[in-house]
């Protein structure tokens, strides 16, 4: 139960960094933290207390391996969502470079050319 | 034009980078036996290229692996992985693993796991290197504050 | 039976091949992208025989059964979405073959175009929560890039705002999938449905809330609509045609339909939430669209209100409600894509889409005026054209389920829509202003618009009995299909 | 694996502090560095939770994300002003309080109990990976064979991002500009 509270704290810190900050790079950092919190949430869902990693070591018996191993499904999903977050950050870095070239600053207040 | 970092960083990275690349390749090839696989191995290899990029500056690295070559490799990796899945059509279903499965701990054990690992490793490795070099090329010349690329034509080819 | 995977694979193959070989050559990449999209349309037509023969196709990727592997499923409802999406995409690709010459490096546009179409088709055919999320991510990232394709200042900022809000939507959906994985351990929808019985209702309500807010954010229903006008009006015209014609419908509306009518069946009151959201966004969209100064912004606000129509029809439910929702989706896709292509043709000649700078188009550009006015009249619900039939059916559905107030509001909103579209038509097409006139756009830009307007013109034919059978099957899917039936067999 | 809860709580509290520093610090470079520490801690925590290849990927991907953001920052303004827009702060506090209340009151309904995971499909994956596919690493077997269709989508996501970087960093958007 405590683990979920910590993950929720990280998630809301990320959302705060994304919403309340006016600097584009700070927003990207906030998105990064949200991505970390959601990935951590997935892996924590698949944890079995005292479980071993889902990779068979030569000396181990298969029956006992299947009993004690951690749930491998969330780990397969986190592999995908880590790389999705990396590609969004890569795209946003290029976008922020481009916006810096046009506006001369990362600050969103001066960028408010679009109304509403 | 940055000429890379100090002499110490250059010599150390010259020693360390071959080991990183070998470690990345071993993570890719033994993906279905030891922890790792296509993604981690590919990302490790692109990290080693980026280390060279930071240590030696852009010209030396681009002379070895120019943007055009990494662009081609990056597409070939994607098509290879798609074709590994299309081979499954020969067995009747989209993603069928039609190769024989082999023994448990041998290298050829996972059917088409090995080929998918190699394809994904190639793709991730070259594409992240391509992305980071492009991002690092965008410099601002403060004269007229316009984005000035070093992307001269021969740089690309 | 392997045809089911072709829509996704062919578009992925076209993206990778264009990137590898034809990226630098403008003409060849356009022709390659057009030929691949026509190939996909043909494979979707061939797929039809299987879908309507044995009610639905279930396809196990890699021959792994239900809970292990990913299963793909196409039934009558997703088949209709597939046909509409894969008919409009080649038309837009044909239009952009000559329109995108104005932009530098159009080869990248065709790569991203085929990636968006791969994402849309991937969502329509898959039956696995995480698979839907991955293909949603592909099409979303490709659409973030396409909004910023012109690299002008407003487009970059609109793309930044669109990315932030799209990322929040995707994270909400991902957390919902995480909760499903945590509680039931499976990702397959039919396996999740069979494991649903031993979960308490609060858990399900929480997951349903996350999904509805995530997909409502993607489809720009009322509380989350503020990103849509900037993103759709500043993007290049073929891109805004894809975005507001197909993208918000497939990623938002189709998924809402699946979640409300097929997955979370034990919560009938979620329909009321969707009806309320649809009602507000319907009214808000049409009111905002009245005093716009830019053609494409009026179209963007009007697509917010039309999406409200579809959501309202979905919320009303019953045979007529669902039929009205599907019909309105079909006609609105055709006519909104036509309108955005039309504004693209005007921009191609006049270099601007401001209303006061465009005067008297009808004397020099007769075909563009004809197709544009057909699109405008159809969306505002004039009898012979397409959207009239769907709006009539939605009003009948509202009356049949005794929501007289809602039926009355529907009529008022369609009158307001008629108002601002007639104002637009009078100012741009029929006014006798001076200023230098440009001659008609060339054949390549014109034929896509003519095809779409012919389809809208003969919109009423879809209600003929022999065509209506397919619609009734799709409505039947919405009424009594639940994913749990797949698990039993 | 470490079982007592103290180690988990210590790492998680370090992460929360690190992410706080990352969001609230004034200079962008220091917030990036603290982002790096958060990524490192998460990679260690993945190891403890029994996910070695996720730990490798997370470590290297976090380093690359750091380098990407540094590329965006170098040569441009390095400090961010601290004032945050008032409207969003109140909106955020409102959402934060509401969700924490619902979180605490319903948490044992919503979230599965920490220790035992629902192995409904996980067990079959472990069994099938070792018996049928003869592959020792169950996670790679899932990623590439059982759910390989996801990984095609995954490879396309990286492909889209790199095409996006190429599109955004070209010199001129429109020809007539």
Instruction: Give one DSSP letter per residue of C319-371, joined into a string.
Output: HHHHHHHHHHHHHHHHHHHHHHHHHHHHHHHHS--BTTT----TTT-HHHHHH
pLDDT of the residue at B157: 39
Q: What pLDDT band is residue B149 in, cutting at 50, 70 and 90?
A: low
In tens, the pLDDT along C187-203 reads 888 888 888 777 778 88
Residue B141 has pLDDT above 70, yes or no: no
pLDDT of the residue at A115: 44
pLDDT of the residue at B155: 43
In tens, the pLDDT along A37-46 reads 999 999 998 8
Residue B148 has pLDDT above 60, yes or no: no
Beta-bridged to residue B146, according to DSSP, are: B141
In a 3-state reduction of DSSP, which class is residue C72?
strand
Residue C169 has pLDDT above 70, yes or no: yes
Please, which residues 304-323 of chain C have a Cβ atom closer than 8 Å to chain D? none
Q: Do C16 and D159 touch (CB under 8 A)?
A: yes
Q: In B, which residues are within 8 Å of A100 by CB distance? A: 140
Please, which residues 58-77 of chain C have a Cβ atom closer than 8 Å to chain B? 59-63, 69
Q: What is the mean pLDDT of residues C359-384?
A: 83
Residue B142 has pLDDT above 60, yes or no: no
Q: What pLDDT band is residue D7 in, cutting at 50, 70 and 90?
A: confident
pLDDT of the residue at B147: 55
Task: List b or e across C446-480, with b for residues whose CB sees 16 or more CB atoms inside 10 angstroms.
Answer: bebbebbbebbbebeebeeeeeeebbebbbbbbee
**Distance in angstroms between the alpha carbons of the first and the last residue of chain A:** 41
Nearest residue to C446 (alpha-carbon basis) of C114, C103, C99, C150? C99
Task: Provide the shortest C-alpha distance from residue C355 to chain B (in Å).
Answer: 32
Task: Provide the shortest C-alpha distance from residue A107 to chain D (in Å).
Answer: 8
pLDDT of the residue at B152: 46
Residue B144 has pLDDT above 60, yes or no: no
Question: In which region does residue A115 sit, left (phi positive, over 0), alpha (psi from -120 to 50) or beta (all else)?
Answer: beta
Q: Exposed, middle or buried by CB within 10 Å (0-12, 13-18, 19+), for A88?
A: buried
Residue C348 has pLDDT above 70, yes or no: yes
Q: What is the mean pLDDT of residues C438-467?
A: 82
pLDDT of the residue at B153: 41
Q: What pLDDT band is residue C475 in, cutting at 50, 70 and 90?
A: confident
DSSP state of D126: H
Q: Do B82 and C5 touch (CB under 8 A)?
A: no
Q: What is the mean pLDDT of residues C288-299?
A: 87
Any D CB within 8 A of B125 CB? no
pLDDT of the residue at B156: 42
Q: Which of B79, B85, B93, B157 to mutate to test the interface with C (most CBs of C within 10 A)?
A: B93
Q: Do D49 and A71 touch (CB under 8 A)?
A: no
Count of C-beta atoms within a 10 Å radius of residue C65: 10
Task: Spell out the residues 6+ positions from residue C351 whose beta carbon is closer than 8 angstroms to its own.
Answer: D176
Q: What pLDDT band is residue B58 in, cutting at 50, 70 and 90?
A: confident
Q: What pLDDT band is residue D85 in, cutting at 50, 70 and 90?
A: low
Q: What pLDDT band is residue D115 in, cutting at 50, 70 and 90?
A: confident
Which of A22-26, B115-119, C115-119, C465-469 has the weakest average pLDDT? Answer: C465-469
Any A CB within 8 A of C148 CB? yes
Q: Do A98 and C148 touch (CB under 8 A)?
A: yes
Mean pLDDT of chain B: 80
Please, which residues 97-116 of chain C have a Cβ atom closer than 8 Å to chain D? 101-105, 108, 111-112, 115
Mean pLDDT of chain C: 87
Q: Do B72 and C13 touch (CB under 8 A)?
A: no
Q: In D, which residues are within 8 Å of A80 by CB distance? A: 143, 150-151, 153-154
Q: Can you list the residues of chain A whose pLDDT is less than 50?
A: 115-116
pTM of the model: 0.93
Q: In C, which residues are within 8 Å of A71 by CB distance? A: 185
Q: What is the mean pLDDT of residues C368-383?
A: 86
Pair C382, C392: CB distance under 8 Å: no
Residue C230 has pLDDT above 50, yes or no: yes
Q: How far apart are CA C445 and CA C99, in angstroms?
A: 7
């Amino acid at each position: 139960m405590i683990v979920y509270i910590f993950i929720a704290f990280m998630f809301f810190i990320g959302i705060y960094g994304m919403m309340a900050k006016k600097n584009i790079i700070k927003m990207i950092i906030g998105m990064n933290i949200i991505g970390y919190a959601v990935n951590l949430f997935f892996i924590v869902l698949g944890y079995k207390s005292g479980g071993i990693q889902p990779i068979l070591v030569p000396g181990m018996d298969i029956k006992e391996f299947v009993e004690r191993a951690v749930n491998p499904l969330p780990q397969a999903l986190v592999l995908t969502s880590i790389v999705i977050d990396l590609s969004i950050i890569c795209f946003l870095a290029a976008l922020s470079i481009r916006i810096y070239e046009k506006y001369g600053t990362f600050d969103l207040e001066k960028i408010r050319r679009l109304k509403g | 034009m940055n000429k890379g970092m100090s002499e110490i960083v250059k010599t150390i990275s010259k020693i360390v980078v071959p080991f990183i690349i070998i470690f990345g390749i071993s993570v890719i090839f033994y993906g279905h036996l030891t922890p790792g696989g296509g993604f981690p191995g590919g990302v490790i290899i692109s990290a080693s290229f980026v280390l060279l990029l930071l240590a030696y500056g852009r010209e030396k690295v681009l002379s070895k692996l120019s943007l055009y070559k990494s662009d081609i490799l990056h597409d070939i990796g994607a098509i290879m992985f798609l074709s590994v899945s299309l081979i499954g059509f020969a067995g009747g279903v989209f993603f069928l693993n039609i190769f024989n499965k082999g023994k448990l701990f041998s290298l050829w054990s996972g059917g088409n796991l090995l080929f998918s690992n190699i394809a994904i490793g190639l793709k991730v490795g070259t594409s992240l290197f391509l992305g980071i070099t492009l991002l690092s090329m965008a410099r601002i010349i403060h004269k007229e504050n316009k984005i000035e690329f070093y992307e001269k034509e021969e740089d690309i080819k | 039976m392997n045809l089911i995977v072709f829509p996704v694979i062919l578009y992925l193959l076209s993206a990778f091949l264009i990137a590898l070989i034809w990226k630098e050559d403008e003409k060849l990449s356009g022709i390659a992208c057009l030929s691949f999209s026509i190939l996909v349309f043909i494979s979707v037509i061939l797929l039809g025989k299987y879908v309507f023969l044995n009610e639905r196709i279930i396809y196990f990727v890699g021959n792994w059964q239900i809970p292990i592997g990913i299963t793909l499923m196409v039934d009558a409802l997703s088949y209709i979405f597939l046909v509409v999406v894969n008919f409009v995409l080649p038309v837009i690709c044909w239009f952009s073959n000559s329109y995108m010459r104005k932009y530098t490096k159009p080869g990248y546009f065709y790569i991203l175009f085929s990636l968006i179409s791969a994402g849309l088709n991937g969502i329509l055919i898959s039956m696995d929560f995480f698979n839907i999320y991955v293909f949603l991510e592909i099409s979303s990232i490709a659409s973030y890039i396409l909004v910023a394709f012109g690299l002008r200042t407003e487009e970059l900022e609109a793309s930044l705002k669109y990315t932030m809000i799209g990322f929040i939507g995707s994270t909400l959906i991902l957390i919902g999938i995480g909760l499903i994985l945590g509680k039931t351990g499976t990702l397959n929808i039919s396996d999740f449905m069979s494991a649903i019985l031993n979960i308490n209702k609060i858990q399900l309500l929480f997951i349903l809330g996350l999904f509805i807010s995530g997909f409502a954010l993607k489809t720009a229903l009322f509380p989350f609509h503020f990103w849509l006008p900037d993103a759709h009006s500043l993007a290049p015209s073929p891109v805004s045609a894809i975005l507001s014609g197909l993208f918000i419908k497939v990623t938002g509306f189709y998924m809402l339909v699946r979640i409300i009518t097929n997955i979370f069946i034990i919560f009938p009151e979620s329909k009321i939430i969707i009806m309320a959201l649809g009602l507000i966004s319907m009214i808000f969209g049409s009111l905002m669209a009245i005093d716009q100064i830019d053609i494409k912004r009026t179209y963007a606000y009007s697509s917010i209100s039309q999406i409200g129509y579809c959501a309202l029809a979905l919320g009303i439910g019953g045979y007529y409600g669902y039929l009205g929702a599907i019909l309105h989706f079909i006609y609105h896709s055709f006519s909104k894509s036509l309108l955005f292509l039309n504004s693209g043709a005007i921009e191609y000649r006049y270099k601007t889409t401001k209303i006061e700078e465009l005067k008297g188009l009808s004397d020099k550009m007769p075909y563009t005026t004809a197709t544009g006015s057909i699109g405008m009249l159809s969306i505002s619900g004039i009898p012979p054209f397409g959207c009239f039939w769907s709006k009539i059916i939605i009003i009948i559905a509202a009356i049949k389920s005794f929501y007289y107030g809602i039926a009355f509001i529907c009529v008022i909103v369609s009158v307001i829509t008629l108002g601002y579209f007639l104002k637009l038509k009078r100012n741009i097409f029929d006014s006798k202003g001076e200023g230098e006139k440009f001659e008609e756009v060339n054949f390549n830009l014109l034929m896509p618009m003519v095809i779409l307007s012919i389809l809208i013109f003969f919109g009423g034919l879809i209600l003929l009995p022999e065509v209506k059978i397919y619609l009734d099957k799709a409505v039947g899917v919405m009424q009594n299909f639940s994913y749990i039936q797949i698990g039993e067999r | 694996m470490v079982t007592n809860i103290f180690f988990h709580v210590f790492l998680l509290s370090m992460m929360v502090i690190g992410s706080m520093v990352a969001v609230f610090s004034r200079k962008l470079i220091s917030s990036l560095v603290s982002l790096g520490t958060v990524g490192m801690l998460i990679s260690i925590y993945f190891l403890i939770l029994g996910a070695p290849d996720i730990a490798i990927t997370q470590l290297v991907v976090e380093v690359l994300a750091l380098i990407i953001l540094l590329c965006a920052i170098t040569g441009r303004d390095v400090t961010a002003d601290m004032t945050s827009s008032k409207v969003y702060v109140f909106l955020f506090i409102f959402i934060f309080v509401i969700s924490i209340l619902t979180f605490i009151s319903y948490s044992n309904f919503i979230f599965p109990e920490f220790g035992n995971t629902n192995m409904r499909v996980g067990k079959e994956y472990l069994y099938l990976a070792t018996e049928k596919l003869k592959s020792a690493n169950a996670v790679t077997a899932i990623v590439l064979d059982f759910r390989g269709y996801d990984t095609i989508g995954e490879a396309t996501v990286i492909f889209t991002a790199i095409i996006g970087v190429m599109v955004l960093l070209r010199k001129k958007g429109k020809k007539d500009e």
